[in-house]
Amino acid sequence: MLWLRARIITWVYHTRAMQLSQIEGFLEVARLGNVSRAAASLSITQPALSARLQALEEELGQPLFVRGRRGVRLTDVGQAFLPYAQQAVAALASGLALVGDLGAGGAGELVIGAAPAVGTYVLPQVLVRFAARYPNVRLVVRTGHSEEITELVVRNQVHVGLVRRIAHPLVTARPLYDDALVLVSGPEHPFAQQGSVSRERLGEAPLILFDPASSYHELTTALVREAGVRPRGVMELDNIDAAKKMVTAGLGVALLPRTAVADELASGALAASTIRGAPPGHRRIVVIRRSDAGEPQGALADFLELVDRIPEIVPGALPPGR
């Protein structure tokens, strides 16, 4: 019945004549083998059901039933059409159920965009709580620099982004938390022993930088420039984890996001020092969505409620504006 399959595909794309009520009527008559009983099961009159079947057969150009004194039975064409009709109704029912689940936050897919430091050190602690509540929601996380994630939001390729604030006419942003930079060194380093250093003393130790494309890199170099010092040496790495390992190994000091080093500071693997006369700065993290996205529902709404709690969930994350 290849011709039937090809014709069904043609109907899907090129006609609206075939109606769900006709398919449902066909399936009920096929199940019961009697038009009268099928009409009663569907709570419609027998003439109304007969009209639906006639319209469906006219659309197909082939008879679906052989009528007899004891009822009806499927023709060869009707038998071939039956599984397609069953699949169509089942797919629609699944779609309706999925829409209901999405509205309730119970299923579906949530695609999140996040800046690298957010995706690595902050988002996992949020998603652990989210996944425990909604185990049937498929989570997709895409990471990239804030500019890249903003573009993904604009192009509707992610539902929501967690980034530093970037002005864009098609995006709305809400502050989530502040991520302050902290001067870290190995626990045996002189800076760690003293607890605080003047910014002029930053030139006494090799400085470890990470990811030149990151705004944290800009904050660090700006602080050094303002201090008017030249570090004894500079090492540039492409990610925070590598920078932490270099500092732990005693190869230098670094200004890193507090959320990224909270565990190491708590365990004593790294030590923090304050910089006198020059706060190292911070980066405000916001949640962004398209301006025309409408009110969040279901899983997305619950996720947004969780990210609002990041300052209380994630060590090192400060309430915005603090």
What are the Cα distances from residue 73, in Å, to 32, 48, 77, 83, 211?
A: 9, 19, 11, 15, 71
**pLDDT of 10 above 70:** no
Model confidence pLDDT, tens digit, residues 106-158: 557 889 999 999 999 999 999 999 999 888 888 999 999 999 999 999 999 99
In the chain, which ranges are continuous DSSP H helix?
2-14, 20-32, 35-42, 46-60, 76-104, 116-121, 123-133, 146-154, 190-194, 215-227, 240-248, 258-267, 298-307, 310-313
Comparing C-alpha atoms, which of 180, 183, 234, 245 is closest to residue 212? 234
**pLDDT of 48 above 50:** yes
The single-letter DSSP state of residue 253 is B
Spatial separation of the C-alpha atoms in residues 214 and 176, rounded to whole Å:
19
Residue for token digits 């925070």?
A: 240
Per DSSP, the residues of 3-60 read HHHHHHHHHHHH---S-HHHHHHHHHHHHHS-HHHHHHHHTS-HHHHHHHHHHHHHHH
Phi and psi at 74, nearest 5°, equal -70, 140
Task: Enter the tokens of residue 141.
Answer: 């996380």
Comparing C-alpha atoms, which of 256, 259, 262 is closest to residue 239? 256
Contacting residues for 61 by C-beta, under 8 A, at least 6 apart: none
Q: What are the start and end residues of each CATH 1.10.10.10 domain in the chain?
A: 2-102
pLDDT of residue 322: 57
Domain 2-102 has CATH 1.10.1060.10: no
Spatial separation of the C-alpha atoms in residues 141 and 183, rounded to whole Å:
29
Collect contacts of 80-87 with beta carbons under 8 A, ≥24 apart.
80/1, 80/4, 81/4, 81/8, 81/26, 82/27, 82/30, 84/4, 84/5, 84/8, 85/23, 85/26, 85/27, 86/27
Superfamily of domain 108-175+285-313: Periplasmic binding protein-like II (3.40.190.10)
Q: What are the start and end residues of each CATH 3.40.190.10 domain in the chain?
A: 108-175+285-313, 177-282
**pLDDT of 317 above 90:** yes
The percent of residues above 70 in pLDDT, for the chain, comes to: 87
Spatial separation of the C-alpha atoms in residues 250 and 23, rounded to whole Å:
73
Phi and psi at 25, nearest 5°, equal -65, -45
What is the torsion angle, in degrees rounded to the nearest 10, for the CA atoms of residue 153, residue 158, residue 163 and residue 169?
10
**pLDDT of 45 above 60:** yes
By mean pLDDT, which of 41-45, 178-182, 200-204, 216-220 is the weakest? 216-220
Cβ atoms of 108 and 288 within 8 Å: the answer is no
CATH (one of 3.40.190.10, 3.30.420.40, 3.30.1360.120, 1.20.120.80) for 177-282 = 3.40.190.10
Spatial separation of the C-alpha atoms in residues 266 and 61, rounded to whole Å:
75
By mean pLDDT, which of 47-61, 112-126, 128-142, 224-238 is the weakest? 224-238
By mean pLDDT, which of 18-22, 218-222, 244-248, 261-265 is the weakest? 218-222
